[in-house]
Amino acid sequence: MAALLPVLLAHLLLLCAHGATASAAATPPPLPILPVPSYAQLQWQLSEMALFLHFGPNTFTDSEWGTGRADPSVFAPSALDAGQWARVAARGGFGRVVLTAKHHDGFCLWPSALTNYSVAASPWRAGAGDVVAELAAAARAEGVGLGLYLSPWDRHEPVYGDTVAYNEHYMGQMTELLTRYGEVEEVWLDGAKGDAKKMNYMFDAWFALIHQLQQRVVIFSDAGPDTRWVGDEAGVAGYTCWSTFNKSSVTIGHTTEEYSRCGDPFGQDWVPAECDVSIRPGWFWHASEKPKNATTLLDIYYKSVGRNCLLILNVPPNSSGLISNEDIQVLQEFTEIRHTIFSHNFATNATVTANSVRGGQDNLQFAPSNVLENNIYSYWAPQEGQTCWEMLFDLGQSASFNVLQLQEPIQLGQRVIEFHVDILIDELWQTIIEATTIGYKRLLKFPVTESRYLKLSIDSARADPLISFFGVFMDPFSDKYNLENYDKRTNSSEVIMLRTGNAAGNRSTAAM
């Protein structure tokens, strides 16, 4: 330790040399780099996870894709409790619930005036029930947002195939959903088509109507306009994942998997990705299927929320109208292990320095210590015009860890292109992780390592990089990384290593 002190002292003196006396006037924040998220997109991102609820006649016919010919009498849940669904979401950390108000079979979970194929024709609640209304009330009571899925494909509706008539029908049902049940935070739709009927969906008209009726809504589809499909149904985003995107490069129903997974650093639109996956093999409940375990969900969490996306996890109610106990048990375990990992941040009381600070080293407004606050509205900003961006973390004592969390203040745009993190071992900086893109949240796992000192180096960025959070955690639940089996696909931009280099590490040490 005695040999290490001169190195650290020299580093601190170097940092101070970059500083300037704080002026009396406040320093304005840096200009955003466009595009940036809307208010609704920010709230969507902050919610991090949504609970998807696939429910309808398929639940009772043991089907995934209904034909539209099932008798409405099959819809007969004996104990439907939307309050239970909302409580499961709230207790599991899900910021919103999204219900399949109408799936491809055309059966409506609300009493639509535009069809006789709805809960009004079922024996449930003696034909006076409304699943959407019950869930809307329950979600408000639990403080979670409401989202609705209205399938474009309707295998029951007779006018499906008549472009004008069906688009009018669809927009009429959308108007019912968005004017009867209070605030709706997300509308989920896709480009699903089937059968032999030719059908053109007037998406632009739909989107205009949705935004007209709900001011704080985000619209999900393959291509936005507000959130995009990540390109798979496994809940896995790209190693590189930009919220920036070009909506003009894709059309609903026709996407490029790699483009959807990774986004576009040159994109002109802000369209972050949403990762959908089911807790069970199917999307609707089937008695023969079992849920994924909690550590599998944790791995999905790292690869979705931890890659700058929102995770929408489908947990389908069963034929009684309840989320099954075995699913609830898995969700409770998933919640507990996330709490165990992320409730203890080894960097909470760290001493943080940086090689430059916007407005000078004494400017607390953009101080390096801001990254210890879990809040995207406080952040470290470097002095303008720098070409080297480094932050040094002294944890106070040596700690063992295997997870890093980084965040950017995305209200000012997504900036970081590449970065790496080093630890100090035997007075040499050793790289433990190299990665690309941070965005709202980046979670990085690697083999357990131990150190007191870490250094974050931003290697390239679209503009001056801004960091709002840096955390150091220990995950004792995930399988230990076997580097020989680590996915080394050619498009991977996340590299796990423990390397003593003559490059970044030794250059920094020499500069000190």
Q: pLDDT tens, 401-437?
A: 999 999 999 999 999 999 999 999 999 999 999 999 9
- The answer on pLDDT for 10 being more than 80 is no
pLDDT in the model for residue 480: 52
**Which residues are CB-contacts of 385 (< 8 A; sequence separation ≥ 6)?**
none
Q: Mean per-residue pLDDT for 337-365? A: 97
Reported as a pLDDT band with limits 50, 70 and 90, residue 511 is very low
Q: Mean per-residue pLDDT for 235-258? A: 93
pTM for this model (two decimals): 0.90
Separation in Å, CA 479 to CA 109, 238, 296, 298 = 41, 21, 10, 11
- The answer on pLDDT for 316 being more than 90 is yes
- The answer on pLDDT for 7 being more than 60 is no
Residue with tokens 């004792």: 476
Choose between 142 and 195: higher pLDDT: 142
Give dist(CA 356, CA 369) in Å, integer. 13
Alpha helices for 151-307 (secondary structure H):
163-180, 203-213, 257-262, 294-302
- The answer on pLDDT for 44 being more than 50 is yes
Of 20-24, 124-128, 130-134, 360-364, the one with minimum mean pLDDT is 20-24
pLDDT in the model for residue 508: 29
Q: What is the per-residue DSSP string for 133-158? A: HHHHHHHHHHT-EEEEEE-S--SS-T
* Percent over 70 (pLDDT), the chain: 88
- The answer on pLDDT for 13 being more than 60 is no
